Amino acid sequence: MYDNNPTLPGIRKEIDENRQGEAIFFEDIHADGKRKFYIESYGCQMNFSDSEIVASILSEVGFAPTRIMESADLVLVNTCSIREKAEETVRKRLQVFNQLKTKNPGMLIGVLGCMAERLKAKFLEEEKLVDLVVGPDAYRDLPSLVQTADDGEKGINVFLSREETYADISPLRLDSNGVSAFISIMRGCDNMCSFCVVPFTRGRERSRDAFSIISEAQHLFEKGYREVTLLGQNVDSYKWTNPETNSVVNFAQLLKEVAEVNSDLRVRFSTSHPKDITDEVLHTMAAYENICKYIHLPVQSGNSRILDLMNRTYDREWYQNRVEAIYRIMPDCAISSDIIAGFCTETDEEHKDSCSMIEWARYSMSYMFYYSERPGTPAAKKLVDDVPLEIKKERLNEIIAIQNRVSLQHNLADIGKTFKVLIEGDSRKSSEEWKGRNSQNKMIVFPKSGSHKPGDYVYVKVRDANSATLLGDLVTL
Ligand code: 5AD
Ligand code: SF4
């Protein structure tokens, strides 16, 4: 739905931060006479998913979405704080919105998400022309905050909740391809990785009512969707207690329930934590054809001393053991990763351990970053950000080059294989070609023939590959 483009290994997220975010595009639905809102989202999939909740809340109170910023009465930006660059991008966008506001003084500007949470009221001091500051757990309050702003005051709510999961809100699917959708299954994070601002911006971990998740998946399937991605900062620690029976649902059980909604509904999930991913999850994946054989298992560093400083609570050996379990239980599973180059005190030798992990684990792709110190995090408080920027960049480039080579090898090994592919839409380059993904989350482009449409499953034999995409031809089995 949002083309997050894993076809560009390693640079996707950095690109996300440099471009103009992702405006929400959808048909102007019955907008006559209604106030209009425009929303741009930055950062992780969870933010995109949250924007759909925001859109739902606003449409309930009579706002209509628009894709044209200039015609909006309310301009919102859903922000990310994970790296400094992400915040810089948002600040630049706010300047653009503010220029617009000088021409249209009635327009309201709102900052949502992690940056709102991190900076709180400081935002209102620093960025004078922001009217609303709303943290990730306060979206239900948006209608009354808009009212406050309409009355000429600043609307701010950055209260973090221990319970909010927006379980009862049916997201307004935005910019949807009608085939794949996100389902948020939990919020927050309790892990306290030392580099990460997320526990501070998204609060404590909480799991959403399993029944509401399953029914959302059912509804999506009935509407024609064929793929859902279960989202959480750490899906493996999903844990929901049924208040009626007191029985506990874990992630493996939830996965099974969602997979059983329909065998034609593909199920994906993100993100897994190496300390928490269980063999039960792996066996559940293996048992259901429609649970995709793809795991995003961020390693962050391949070196045990650095992992300890990062407070990841596993070491290199533990991680390797999990990877071995994945390949043993699902030999055809693809694994991807997140890697941070140049964390505090990392030596050249320790960096080499991250390089070797890419080859060892045979990642199909990775998201790669250099370390960016975030104020208030345990690393910022206790460790010295002592790797010079030049070295961080050098190490990152080395990591990217290795991953590109490994991705290419991974993809070349698929030549001659036939995959079941879910058609997502026209390829980026041509309306004569379809694009879709295989179970391993690889994008495959192939010439159209016959009367297929997005949402159909087809079989495609791979003829060629580069490090980002497979090219193939339709086959009948
Ligand atoms: N600097 C660089 N990368 C970071 N990430 C999280 N915090 C930081 C930081 N301070 C990366 C991690 C995480 C991904 C979403 O972003 O790799 O898995
Ligand atoms: Fe951040 Fe770690 Fe939580 Fe991921 S698991 S969101 S990296 S604290």
The CATH number linked to 152 is: 3.40.50.12160
Structural domain ending residue among the three candidates 137, 157, 177: 157
Q: Which residue has the tokens 């990152």?
A: 396
CA distances from 177 to 3, 114, 204, 223, 435 (A): 10, 26, 32, 12, 12
How many A from CA of 88 to the centre of ligand 2? 21
Residues 123 and 121: their CA atoms lie apart, in Å, by 5
In this structure, which ligand is nearest to the CA of 312? 2
User: Which residues are CB-neighbours of 76 under 8 A, at least 6 positions away?
Assistant: 37, 38, 39, 40, 54, 109, 110, 111, 112, 132
Structural domain ending residue among the three candidates 157, 190, 205: 157
Residue 133 lies in a domain: yes
How many A from CA of 154 to the centre of ligand 2? 31
Q: Which of 345, 399, 339, 335 is nearest to 369 (CA)?
A: 339
**How many whole angstroms from its chain centre is CA 2?**
10
How many A from CA of 441 to the centre of ligand 1? 22
Ligand 2, residue 202: give the atom nearest the CA. Answer: 6
Residue 366 lies in a domain: no
CA angle, residues 403, 408, 410, in degrees to nearest 5 = 90
Residue 446 lies in a domain: yes
**How many whole angstroms from its chain centre is CA 331?**
25
Residue 237 lies in a domain: no
How many A from CA of 7 to the centre of ligand 1? 20
Q: Is 196 in the pocket of ligand 1 (CB under 6 A)?
A: yes
pLDDT value of position 121: 87
Please give the structure tokens belonging to residue 18.
Answer: 């440099």
Q: Is 372 in the pocket of ligand 1 (CB under 6 A)?
A: yes
pLDDT value of position 19: 32
Ligand 1, residue 370: give the atom nearest the CA. Answer: 2
Residues 9 and 393: their CA atoms lie apart, in Å, by 16
Residues 43 and 64: their CA atoms lie apart, in Å, by 24
Q: What is the pTM of this model?
A: 0.92
Q: Which of 408, 322, 396, 384 is nearest to 354 (CA)?
A: 396
Residue 152 lies in a domain: yes
Contact 274, 318 (CB under 8 A): yes
Ligand 2, residue 189: give the atom nearest the CA. Answer: 3
Q: Output the residue whose Cα is nearest ligand 2's atom 4.
A: 233
Q: Output the residue whose Cα is nearest ligand 2's atom 1.
A: 196
How many A from CA of 396 to the centre of ligand 1? 13
SS3 call for 424: strand
pLDDT value of position 266: 98
Ligand 2, residue 233: give the atom nearest the CA. Answer: 6
In this structure, which ligand is nearest to the CA of 82? 1
Please give the structure tokens belonging to residue 263.
Answer: 């065998």
Q: Is 338 in the pocket of ligand 1 (CB under 6 A)?
A: yes
How many A from CA of 239 to the centre of ligand 1? 24
Q: Is 81 in the pocket of ligand 1 (CB under 6 A)?
A: no
Structural domain ending residue among the three candidates 131, 157, 183: 157
Residues 311 and 300: their CA atoms lie apart, in Å, by 11
What tens-digit pLDDT sequence spans the chain (477 residues)? 223 322 222 222 222 333 334 444 444 444 567 899 999 999 999 999 999 999 999 999 999 999 999 999 999 999 999 999 999 999 999 999 999 999 998 999 999 999 999 999 888 887 677 999 999 999 999 999 999 999 999 999 999 999 999 999 999 998 789 999 999 999 999 999 999 999 999 999 999 999 999 999 999 999 999 999 999 999 999 999 999 999 999 999 999 999 999 999 999 999 999 999 999 999 999 999 999 999 999 999 999 999 999 999 999 999 999 999 999 999 999 999 999 999 999 999 999 999 999 999 999 999 999 999 999 999 999 999 999 999 999 999 999 999 999 999 999 999 999 999 999 999 999 999 999 999 999 999 999 998 999 999 999 999 999 999 999 999 998
Tally of CA atoms within 13 A in the half-sphere of 201 that contains its CB: 26
In this structure, which ligand is nearest to the CA of 376? 1
3-state SS string for 345-405: CCCHHHHHHHHHHHHHHCCCEEEEEECCCCCCCHHHHHCCCCCCHHHHHHHHHHHHHHHHH
Quote the number of domains for the chain: 2
Ligand 2, residue 338: give the atom nearest the CA. Answer: 7
Residue 465 lies in a domain: yes
- Any residues with Cβ below 6 Å from ligand 2, and which? 189, 191-193, 196, 198-199, 233-234, 273
Q: What is the CATH number of the domain that holds 455?
A: 2.40.50.140
Ligand 1, residue 338: give the atom nearest the CA. Answer: 17
Residue 52 lies in a domain: yes
How many A from CA of 454 to the centre of ligand 1? 34
Containing domain of residue 452, as a range? 418-475
Q: Output the residue whose Cα is nearest ligand 1's atom 12.
A: 338
Burial category of 51 from C-beta neighbours within 10 Å (exposed 0-12, middle 13-18, buried 19 and up): buried
Q: Which of 220, 232, 212, 230 is nearest to 262 (CA)?
A: 220
Ligand 2, residue 82: give the atom nearest the CA. Answer: 1
Q: Which of 190, 191, 235, 276 is the pocket-test mutation for ligand 2 (most atoms within 8 Å of CB)?
A: 191
Q: Is 195 in the pocket of ligand 1 (CB under 6 A)?
A: yes
